[in-house]
Copies of this chain bind each other. A is one copy, B any other.
Amino acid sequence: MTFPIPTAILGASGYTGAELLRLLHAHPAFHIVALTGDSQAGKPIEAVYPHLRTRRLPALVKHTEVDFSSIQLVFCCLPHGTTQEIIAGLPGHVRIVDLSADFRLLDVAAYEQWYGHAHRAPALQKEAVYGLSEHYRAQIKTARLVANPGCYPTCSLLPLIPLIEEKAIAHDRIVINALSGISGAGRSAKQEMLFTELDGGVAAYGLGHHRHMAEIEQELQKAVSGAQQSPAGDRAEPIKISFTPHLVPMTRGMLATISMRLAKGVTVEDARATLAARYAGEPFVQVLATGSASTHQVRGTNQCFLSAHAGRLPDELILVSVIDNLVKGASGQALHNANLMFGLPETTHLELTAVFP
């Protein structure tokens, strides 16, 4: 590997793009050489993000203006749906971390069902590695295309996967309630995202049909299958989850509260110990011994803080998980994955302290 590594961000004018520019500032290996933003092409970055005026960064250009021959790493922050063809058109030597949902679902039929159109790059879909860093580390290291997980899936899967793999919980009635900061909705001008419409109130949305369900179920299913070492003839019901997201009047942060039953004979302490053991060496997942965390505690960082609690129902386990949706839930995990892909120490430039207060 020769350093620095020429890096491009596609779709740099959105919030995940801005967050990547924050996280990549002075990164020792990744050097930003191109920023695209088709509707903003020609503008300097400070016209789009005045807070970046002190940074030396290339101006925004159209995607078609970029010479990808010298670029080795691409972070793709384009909207869901438009990403497939663009990634399919990149030269083969370019390695990609895609922050959209386009390559997260292994099954193109599932993709079509949830996203409403046939997948436009099914061949690429096959080679994409799901970028949940702590659980796909080996594959990410050698992947050409990493499908960076959604924020809700990251926040939900980190506490659930180890417990499913260890058969510590029943997985027939997992109920996830999640709260998200508004930045998850992106930077497009929409009436329902105005300050005045959101300040001072909360609402649920996507009831019973949010697209992140598919992603969470896919990964939990893999955990179940791994746990069961299921023979080909396995006819177990595919896993389904209850998932209700809510928009909360804050800019950043995500919290998932997850209720389920413990497996027979397993205690809350066992579950906590399972999580603690699984994440003992992980730099970006902390399992709390007591209490639960607020999203303030991870604001601006790549951390996930987890906790396990006894619920009041018989055998009930409640897990609470917090992340910053723009960091661990998007751009921070993307950088973590890029670090892995390029053989860097994986915490490179990600040892952030929360911005509190």
A54/B286 in contact, CB under 8 A? yes
B299/A300 in contact, CB under 8 A? no
Residues of B within 8 A of A200 (CB): 199-200, 250-253, 296, 299
Residues of B within 8 A of A198 (CB): 195
Binds B, one of A96-104, A186-194, A223-231: A186-194
Residues of B within 8 A of A355 (CB): 22, 300, 355
Bound together, the chains give a CA A324 to CA B204 distance in angstroms of 16
Q: Which residues of chain A from 213 to 251 have any CB-CB distance to chain B below 8 Å in the complex?
A: 213, 240-244, 246, 248-251
Bound together, the chains give a CA A90 to CA B190 distance in angstroms of 33
Contact of A199 among B188, B195, B311 (CB under 8 A): B195
Q: Interface code A17-52, partner B: CB below 8 Å = 1, 0 otherwise?
A: 010011001100000000000000000000001111
B177/A292 in contact, CB under 8 A? no
Q: Interface code A161-199, partner B: CB below 8 Å = 1, 0 otherwise?
A: 000000000001101010100110101111101111111
Judge if A257 is at the interface, Cβ distance under 8 Å: yes
Nearest CB in chain B: distance from A269 CB, A: 14
Residues of B within 8 A of A252 (CB): 200, 357
16 inter-chain pairs at a CB distance below 8 angstroms, sorted by A residue, are A26-B351, A50-B293, A175-B175, A182-B196, A187-B191, A189-B189, A195-B199, A199-B249, A200-B200, A201-B253, A201-B297, A202-B250, A202-B294, A242-B312, A248-B249, A249-B249
- Taking beta carbons and an 8 Å cutoff, which residues of A are in contact with B? 15, 18, 21-22, 25-26, 49-55, 172-173, 175, 177, 179, 182-183, 185, 187-191, 193-205, 207-209, 213, 240-244, 246, 248-253, 255, 257, 259, 286, 288, 291-300, 303, 305, 309-314, 316, 318, 320, 322, 326, 351, 353-357
